[in-house]
Structure 1
Amino acid sequence: MYAKRGDRNDGRMSNGSFQEQIQDPWRTRPVRLPGRGHVAGVCAGIGYRYGVDPVLIRVAFVVSTIFGGAGVLLYLACWLALTKSGDPASPAESLMGRGHSSDSGTKTVVLLVALAIAVSTVGPFGVGLGGSGLISMALMLGGLWLLYQRQPIPPPSPVGAVAPGVGTGYPGTSFSPGQFGANPFGPGTYGSGAYGPYTKLPDSYTPSAPPTTGQSADATGEAPTEALKPETPAPQADPVSFEKSPTAGPRVDAPSAPFAPLEPRPPAWDPLGVAPFAWDLPEPARTTTPAVQPERTHSRLTTMVIGLAILAAAAATALAVATGSDWLNPGRIGAVALAVIGVGLLIGGFLRKGYGLLVVAGPLAGFVILASLVGSLDLNSENMGDRTWVPLTAADIDPAYSGGFGNFTLDLRNVTLTEDKTVDVSGQFGEVVVLLPPGMNVENHCTAQFGDAQCLPDGLDGGTDGTDGHVLTLNADIRFGSMEVRRG
């Protein structure tokens, strides 16, 4: 399954050169096991190669995908670079003509296109990731290096696996020792030490002398050493006479005695033979005892970890209520519970238990991501429903206007600025509309995280009477919904 170097097959760590330490992880790279995985068998192959539960590898890929997107990039790269179990070459090598892969060329091209998109968008060098993708990429590669240091020697090949670069027919490749099993004859004359693929056969064979009477009693059946020496002459046989033998008379065979009838033997159900009158009855049907299935022990790890996660979330909620802190919002409280679930998954990965935690971790991770995007919610009745603010003078303008769920309108058409003003308008879910008079000087900054924003042109907009006079700086923001700034 894996191409091994000769100096690493003795079961000991060897401190080679730096180049060998860099190349050795590639020589002993994993193979993909699609039969044991869900998508392409990348996580199953890595887990089998380094002796780790594949669930932990999948969790690492998912986490690195969420924080920076490096998981998608690494998974696609492994899909292309790692050989599938049973194939002599990887999809990338097959596309370059260096072997055959069961993956079609069209599929390989699609994977290459997806990899290029991942590098440009969600990879570690994507735009707007703040370096998180590069950090997650470094952590994933560092973890892979630590796994290699933990188990540098690959495990035995699974059934039907072909080592990458081994036995493919290309120059420089060969079959690993013991690939076809151990020698069935054991060490000796018929073992690997007698003949090999490059053994030179002798020009002629000298038969050994027949064993003598004293040597026939030897239990080992080994010929004496002197009989194998070519200089020892073999004993001469008696001369054979070629004289014609007398003609033999006709042969008359005596009739043989008739065979005695076989005595009937008792059946298996009557071993003592006490009921010969019933021996002609058919054998009773055999009753098969079903194999007793071992009782499956239900692990308490899942329920215990879920209970601890609920207690941790309840404690964080109580702390937020007691202190009145806005920092412990629903997203951070969910993150506390998710951290407990993550620790449980790590423990369960080593114990091979707690797989039910994945059912809880998925929706909880989605809630944490959504809550982090939404932020803190103010569910007061004043921030719910449709609201309209209509200040009449510049002094009546508040520094900020905000809404939770609904449609919100700020009407400034009756205001004449007497000084420069700055107003912040925000909404979480719904629609936000700002109405301005035709001649007001406005500099707006509009953002819509998940929605549509239709505002005035960037920079200072003077309206119908030019840019002379006081300026209103408008900062408008909407999370989920639409934002509109227009002149009335």
Structure 2
Amino acid sequence: MAESTSRSAGARVGETLQDFWATRPARPRGKIAGVAEALGRRYGVDPVLLRILFVVGAFYGGAGLAVYLLGWLLLPKETPEGRRPTPVFTALLVIGSLFLLMFWVMQLQGLVGLSIAFLGLYLLHRNYRDRPKATAAEPQGAVPVTEKTWVYPGAKAPVQPLTDTGLDVRQNPPSWDPLAAAPFAWDLPEPQESEPEPEPERPRRRWITLLTLGIAAFAGGITISAGTPLGFTFALALGIIGAGLVVGAFLHGGRGLIGAAIPVAGLAMVFAVAPVGSGPWGEIDESPETPAQLAPEYRAAVGDVQLNLEGMALSTGQEARTRVSVDIGNISVYVPRTADVTVDCAAGQGLTNCLGRERNGDRIRNHVVDTGEDGPGGGTIVLDLRAGTGNVEVFRD
């Protein structure tokens, strides 16, 4: 029973995918790509909403940009002669862009974004596959061939198309001319007054916006409390908002999420370029006097860290060890004059000056061993200093 159910589900999925490919829309003329416009026309969705989803998805591991390029490549182009495949030069350019983009997309965030995008397209087609395609409107003033044309007695044949039965000569004036004052116009049809039907008001589904923002805030709070980087937190919130926009497109709601998606996407992009963790913000200034007072780790998301170890008393064979990490900011450490110091200095962008050995640039690292002015012996200090963007400096007084 379960096997037959799984087979039927798989068959339905396969039929949906085949129908999606067979009825894929053509990209309209007058636009460079027109992917959002084509999908909007096909499924009756606002193209502006689709464009926003593509932009939001681009910050989510590049998934939105990858799906847009795939649409550009696979959807045919609308031309005066009919549907035409994507030109060879354009196809090669898009394929090259997709190849370079895969190095960015093939990460956790990008794979999750691609999964959400493909699932959204699948549900969109599954629910709206039968929406009628737009047809060309009949020219105004055209008279159908089946319509009877009325003329008054003795009038010449009209220029409108005639029916197979010929002319039907009206003997009595129409209702709009009871006094027969205009017999030359008796061939005009009877007036029909029809009031346009008011469009039904769609219910406002504000709960989609509120529920989506609540889920995004809850998920963001969990990731922050778990110590994940802020870049991942905002990317996760952006993905949840994007899913809410997809659901809102089906249920005709959730437009309030558009205003929330823009700042969240901007923050996700900022923290993707300059990663900032979930550590504290602000200055850290510590002066431990014994190895027991030295914390095993000092961490700051944004801010400077200053560690003064000059007054630390170290006995022979005693070791003091710590790690200092800053995402955006500077690290300054002052060590005793006679201590044996082993230090690893690293900076993503900035400068390292560790006990007189200076380097600057991108992704720089220094490993320095310095025994002080009295040579080897005495206590040892081991430092691991890392800054994402900023300077790392170690001084000996």
TM-score range (shorter-chain normalised) is 0.5 to 0.7
Q: Does 1:434 align with 2:333?
A: yes
Contact 1:407/1:430 (<8 A) preserved: yes
Number of matched residues? 319
Match of 1:77 in 2: 70
Q: Aligned equivalents of 1:67 and 1:80: distance in 2?
A: 21
CA–CA distance in 1 between the matches of 2:197 and 2:227? Answer: 50
8 Å CA contact retained: 2:280, 2:299: no
The AA in structure 1 aligned to 2:261 is A
TM-fit CA distance, 1:410: 1.9
Q: Which has the higher contact order (CA 8 A, sep 6+)?
A: 2
Q: Where do residues 3-14 of structure 1 align in structure 2 (5 Å cutoff)?
A: none
Q: Which has the higher strand share?
A: 2
Equivalent residue of 1:350, what SS? helix
Match of 1:398 in 2: 295
- Which residue is equivalent to 2:344? 444
Q: Which amino acid aligns with 1:31?
A: A
Identity of aligned pairs, percent? Answer: 29
Q: Deviations over 1:217-243 (max 9, x none)?
A: xx999xxxxxxxxxxxxxxxxxxxxxx
Q: 1:454 aligns with which of 352, 357, 362?
A: 352
Residue deviations 1:180-212 (CA, integer Å, cap 9, x gap): xxxx989xxxxxxxxxxxxxxxxxxxxxxxxxx
Deviation at 1:352, TM superposition (A): 3.6
Provide the rounded CA distance (Å) in 2 between the counterparts of 1:21 and 1:350: 17
- SS for the counterpart of 1:409 is strand
Match of 2:186 in 1: none
> For residue 102 of structure 1, what is the aligned residue in structure 2?
none
Classify the secondary structure of the residue corresponding to 2:391.
strand
Cα distance change on mapping 1:85 and 1:149 into 2, 3 Å = same
Deviation of 1:122 (Å): 1.9
Q: Report the CA distance between 1:482 and its aligned residue.
A: 0.7
SS for the counterpart of 2:104 is coil
Q: Normalising by the residue count of structure 1, what TM-score does the alignment of the two structures yield?
A: 0.47
For residue 413 of structure 1, report the CA deviation from its aligned partner. Answer: 4.8
In structure 1, what is the equivalent of residue 323 of structure 2? 424
> 2-side partners of 1:310 and 1:21: how far apart?
31
1:133 paired with 2:99, answer no
- What amino acid is aligned across from residue 46 of structure 1 in structure 2? L
Q: Which runs of 5+ in 2 are unaligned?
A: 1-10, 138-143, 147-163, 167-175, 182-194, 355-363
- 5+ long unaligned stretches in structure 1: 1-14, 96-104, 161-183, 187-218, 222-267, 274-290
Q: Which has the larger radius of gyration?
A: 1
- Residues 27, 34 of structure 2: 8 Å contact kept: yes
The TM-score with structure 2 as length reference comes to 0.56
Q: Which amino acid aligns with 2:390?
A: S
Q: How does 1:160-175 map to 2 (within 5 A)?
A: none
What RMSD in Å do the two structures reach over aligned CA positions? 5.5
Are 1:32 and 2:27 matched, yes or no?
yes
Partner of 1:122, secondary structure, is: helix
CA deviation profile, 1:286-306 (whole Å, cap 9, x unmatched): xxxxx999799797545x666
Q: 1:478 to 1:328 in 2, by over 3 A?
A: closer
Contact 2:340 2:381 in 1 (8 A): yes
CA distance in 1, matches of 2:61, 2:239: 18
